[in-house]
Chain A
């Protein structure tokens, strides 16, 4: 019989067999994909949140690729075992502080620094640790000075709301997503690849960026430091200054987050050591050169030491919180940036203008823990600040800045020219970054 050329509006055309084949085919493919994802994700457990009896930790724990799902993975890492010491903060903490140093002895130490992590997220992380860690003794909390005046954060775009750190999240959705989701699957594939290459790995890029203790140790930047400072660090500082010019008040939400962190740790007798992670002097200079309304960050420093003093006073039986300030023009922060074309252009202590490497982090940890310091230069690195000595500290930073100008004349000139270049030309696009530089 000839096939009709038109079909009724009832929507009932066609052979039911073809429809059945279509439906079962699509549902079958979907089920197969989801089942495959679920098996692989639970076998590899790439983000530390999809553990199952058949998970192969021995094969994969050193190779987990958590870079793209940091919030989820660091929360998973936090609940994976009981820790003694945890580092919280942004990528400055994730890169600089090494939880595997031999000086830690038998203590179990984990780096939970989050790229772009703000105080709001650290506050949620402290709550999460309260739920999952019964024996935590010490938290090292890194606070970026620009964080407190910045009302927004990267939480939305960085995966905070999809992570276990989100207190308002849908738990069922989250757990199903970790087991059957694409993010876990991609991380699984990368983890399997990395584990497969482990025996023959010769390049850093064959290894995952993060260690099993959460330290961002590998695959940072491949470009010369001066180049990164020109295209990333200085524009970042200018962006911050622009924001600070329009609004310099301390964000009430961020301040409340800091208060919450302090009180909740002190109530549980967890020792807190706050650090203000350093910036390179070239980056710091931009705030003076481009007329930041408060280039010594006096308002932010004051808010921090005041809140710490209040928290200590409210919890006299707990170990007092101390604030280590590493942000100044100290010689370690003023390591000379070689001009482009000289050597590989890399620095010993710095990844770029805003991220100190573990070489610098080791000095910071030694100072904060009163360990022996190997380099002479590091002996006076960082200052403990409080309400009493803050004015003297701020005056000293101003003097250090003037000294930096004269002692690093060529570098300072490079920074000044770059600043005026960005300030003059708002339309011409510059080279984009290579995607490997962490957001501060």
Chain B
């Protein structure tokens, strides 16, 4: 099931909320049990292999993974810092990675050897595997507690984060369950959750899906290699894709955070105006923050982080980003994207060290933002081309062709023609121009977290403003008539455009 569906908004979410508020009155665990059941319904609603009838296999897979990891975790927790604990941890991590690797990469590797192997990727397997690996590692480190099984199941399967994150951490979630935060300030939670949900829906339906039409048309043309893309088309393609991805992921994160908040649960912050970043290092502190955190804590640090000298630090950065790239999908395009970001991070750190050594002033903020955005934009080209490499009819050749054609067009290798005429265009120039205007909203408007700052819609929001809420701003949301009208208008505009089936981009990872 997807958040931006009538089934979710009109049937599933009201039913889950109503059921929880009734059942939890009679017993908290029963309420959690209800949420687990609803989360499994949410997960099982989708049949990942459309060529075959629905099967309970995938629900059994996630349940099996939860049960296995729960008992592994308990055992490891009882043998923390011991050799046997370490052995069991290794078995647990290898089993998790083996399962993930089989579903995610076996088909790709078989293809390299000329064998056709059709493996359907279970939904959300990356996310539920990663968060359980973190649980096992922390159990060994002695950072977990004796969690109740129902709480643990809910922590892994809770539907607002199940499919595409945020990649929640047990230390953030399980204490909220036991403290019964949902009981406090119910109406605050409901209205803040609802507003966040509406904002996310608006971003996805009204902005991202409309920008996608332009980006898909031009990238599709580039992949088919029918004609040379013009310079304007090249820039329009990558800019509209950057806008689509931004609002798609930001919209998804808002809807996840908003849905959880309706139940009184706060998720960690996952997205915080990444295109306002003044460096690539900062970009990764703002983009898919919970995945970045996971990669840092469970990959970069164990590799040695920056503790083993400069050369090793750059190598670790590169390795982390390349592996992060491949996590998105096995293939050339995501590998190139990961490599580019690894390179950016190395350059960024080298520049920071050089600046420090020579006591140079930082670049002016607008210039730093523009340079960072340009670097990110270039890397989005292979990232988008990754969609041509996967799926039943995908091919690496198509992904390479698309990447090459768009980059060539952007940098003038196809000449300096403007928009093509009626016999050649695949998207209207006015539509592309209009879509690109959303960049100004991205750069100039406050984001959802800033807008709802007074009611801390997510955990760790304060990390970006030193935990100071500061004085009231007129543009900060409050339950007043003005913001009621604003929310209602957004909702009405969204309803007016809500007529397409459209998955979130991050669902495929």
> What is A's interface to B at a CB cutoff of 8 Å?
5-7, 9-14, 16-23, 25-27, 29-30, 33-34, 152, 157, 159, 161-162, 168-170, 172-173, 176-177, 180-183, 231-232, 234-236, 238-239, 242-243, 246-247, 422, 425-430, 432
Q: Is the CB–CB distance between A182 and B496 below 8 Å?
A: yes
| Interface residue ranges of B408-449 to A (CB < 8 Å) | 417-425, 428-429
Q: How far is the CA of A30 from the CA of B198 in the complex (A)?
A: 11
Q: Name the interface residues of B463-503: CB closer than 8 Å to any CB of A.
A: 467, 469-472, 478-480, 483-484, 487-488, 491-492, 495-501
* Given contact pairs A22-B484, A176-B7, a sample of 8 additional A-B residue pairs in the complex whose CB atoms are under 8 Å apart: A10-B456, A13-B455, A18-B479, A25-B484, A176-B10, A425-B421, A426-B421, A427-B230
Interface pair B456/A19, CB less than 8 Å apart: no
- Is there an interface contact between B10 and A11, defined as CB atoms closer than 8 Å? no
Asked whether A246 and B225 contact (CB < 8 A) given A18-B479, A181-B498, the answer is: yes
Q: Nearest 5 A-B pairs (CB), nearest first?
A: A235-B423, A19-B187, A168-B50, A22-B479, A11-B456
A246 touches B192 (CB 8 A): no
Q: Which chain B residue has the least Cβ–Cβ distance from A243? A: B226
CB nearest neighbor in A for B428: A432
Q: Is the CB of B185 within 8 A of A242?
A: no
Known: A176-B10, A181-B6, A427-B418. A239 touches B424 (CB 8 A): yes
C-alpha spacing A7/B496, complex, angstroms: 36
Q: Which residues of the partner chain A approach B226 to less than 8 Å between Cβ atoms?
A: 242-243, 246
The 7 listed contacts between A and B (C-beta, < 8 Å) are A9-B462, A14-B454, A26-B488, A234-B423, A242-B424, A247-B224, A427-B419
Q: How many chain B residues touch A (Cβ–Cβ < 8 Å)?
A: 64
CB <8 Å contact, A246 and B224: yes
Q: In the complex the two chains form, is A242's CB within 8 Å of B479's CB?
A: no
Q: How far is the CA of A172 from the CA of B417 in the complex (A)?
A: 48
Instruction: Report how far A137 CA is from B446 CA in the complex, Å.
Output: 62
**Is A183 in contact with B480, judged by CB distance below 8 angstroms?**
no
A312–B497 Cα distance when bound, in Å, is 47
- In the complex, what residues of A have CB within 8 A of residue B469's CB? 6-7, 9
**Which residues on A sit within 8 Å (CB–CB) of B266?**
11
B418 cross-chain contacts in A, Cβ below 8 A:
427
Contacts of B499 in A (CB 8 A): 162, 177, 181-183
Residue pair A176, B6 in contact (C-beta under 8 Å): yes
List, in ascending order, chain A residues with CB within 8 A of B50's CB. 168
User: What is the CB-to-nearest-CB distance from B427 to chain A, in angstroms, rounded to a whole number?
Assistant: 11
CB distance from B469 to the nearest CB of A (A): 6
- B6 and A180 within 8 A (CB): yes
Of chain B, the residue at the smallest CB distance from A170 is B7
Given contact pairs A239-B423, A427-B230, A22 touches B455 in the complex (Cβ within 8 A): no
Give chain A residues whose Cβ lies under 8 Å from the Cβ of B425: 429
The reply to whether A16 and B185 contact each other, CB–CB distance below 8 Å, is yes
Bound Cα distance from A18 to B479, whole angstroms = 6
Contacts A9-B467, A10-B456, A33-B495 hold; do A173 and B421 have CB atoms under 8 A apart? no
Chain A residues contacting B400 (CB-CB under 8 Å) are: none
Known A-B contacts A12-B184, A22-B479, A23-B190; the reply to A162 vs B500 at CB < 8 A is yes
Contacts of A161 in B (CB 8 A): 501
Kindly provide the distance from the CB of A118 to the nearest chain B CB, expressed in whole angstroms: 15
Q: How far is the CA of A436 from the CA of B250 in the complex (A)?
A: 37
Known: A5-B472, A19-B479. A427 touches B190 (CB 8 A): no
Instruction: Mark B residues whose CB is within 8 Å of A.
Output: 5-7, 10-11, 45, 47, 50, 184-188, 190-192, 194-195, 198, 213, 220, 224-227, 230, 266, 417-425, 428-429, 454-457, 462, 467, 469-472, 478-480, 483-484, 487-488, 491-492, 495-501
Complex interface: chain A residues within 8 A of B498 (CB): 181-182
Q: Chain B's nearest CB lies how many Å from the CB of A223?
A: 14
Q: With A and B bound together, what is the CA distance between A18 and B478 in angstroms?
A: 9
Cα A88 to Cα B454 in complex, Å, equals 58
In Å, the complex CA distance between A231 and B195 comes to 46
Per the bound structure, the CA–CA distance linking A18 and B417 in Å amounts to 56
Q: How near does chain B come to A193, taking the closest CB pair, in angstroms? A: 18
Residues of A within 8 A of B213 (CB): 157
Q: Do A23 and B6 touch across chains, with their CB atoms under 8 A apart?
A: no
Q: CA–CA, A161 to B213, complex, Å?
A: 15
Distance between A13 CB and nearest chain B CB, rounded to angstroms? 6
A27: which B residues are within 8 A, CB to CB?
A: 194
A152, A182, A428: the one contacting B495 at CB < 8 Å is A182
Query: Cβ of A14 and Cβ of B188 under 8 Å apart?
Result: yes
Q: Are B220 and A152 in touch, CB under 8 angstroms?
A: yes
Question: Which listed residue, A177, A180, A183, A231, touches B422 by the CB 8 Å rule?
Answer: A231
A235: B residues at CB distance < 8 A: 421-424
The interface residues of chain A lying within 8 Å CB-to-CB of B47 are: 168
Contacts of A168 in B (CB 8 A): 47, 50
Q: How far is the CA of A66 from the CA of B314 in the complex (A)?
A: 59
Assess the B421–A23 pair: CB atoms within 8 A: no
Which residues in A have their C-beta under 8 angstroms from that of B224?
Answer: 152, 243, 246-247
CB pair B419–A429 under 8 Å, yes or no, is yes
Chain B residues within an 8 Å CB radius of A20: 187, 191
- Tell which of A12, A14, A20 has the most Cβ of chain B within 10 Å: A14
Distance in angstroms from B451 CB to nearest chain A CB is 14
Contact between B194 and A429 (Cβ–Cβ < 8 Å)?
no
Contact B479 A14 (CB under 8 A): yes
Report chain B residues within 8 Å CB of A21.
479
Contact of A427 with B420 in the complex, beta carbons under 8 Å: yes
Expressed in whole angstroms, the Cα–Cα distance for A341 and B458 within the complex equals 65
C-alpha gap A133/B418 in the complex (Å): 51
Contact assessment for B454 and A426 in the assembled complex, using a CB-CB cutoff below 8 Å: no
**A34 cross-chain contacts in B, Cβ below 8 A:** 10
The answer to whether A19 touches B191, judged by C-beta atoms less than 8 angstroms apart, is yes
- Please, which residues of chain A bring their CB within 8 A of the CB of B492? 33
CA distance A221 to B32 in the complex (A): 60
Q: How far is the CB of B195 from chain A (nearest CB, A)?
A: 8
The contact of A428 among B190, B192, B225, B421, by CB within 8 Å, is B421
Q: A26-B487, A242-B226 are in contact. Are A14 and B478 (CB under 8 A)?
A: yes
Given contacts A14-B478, A20-B187, contact A162 B501 (CB under 8 A): yes
Shortest beta-carbon distance from B418 to chain A in Å: 5
Name the distance in Å between B391's Cβ and chain A's nearest Cβ: 13
**Separation of A234 and B423 alpha carbons in the complex (Å):** 8
Q: If the complex has contacts A176-B10, A242-B226, are A11 and B424 also in contact, measured as CB distance less than 8 A?
A: no
Residues A16 and B488 in contact in the complex (CB < 8 Å), given A9-B469, A180-B10: no
Compute how far the CA of A102 lies from the CA of B195 in the bound complex, rounded to whole angstroms: 58
With both beta carbons as reference points, the residue of chain B lying nearest to A22 in the complex is identified as B479
Complex: A233 Cα to B282 Cα, angstroms? 51
Q: Which of B6, B480, B491 has the most CB of A within 10 A?
A: B6
Interface contact A6-B487, CB-CB below 8 Å: no
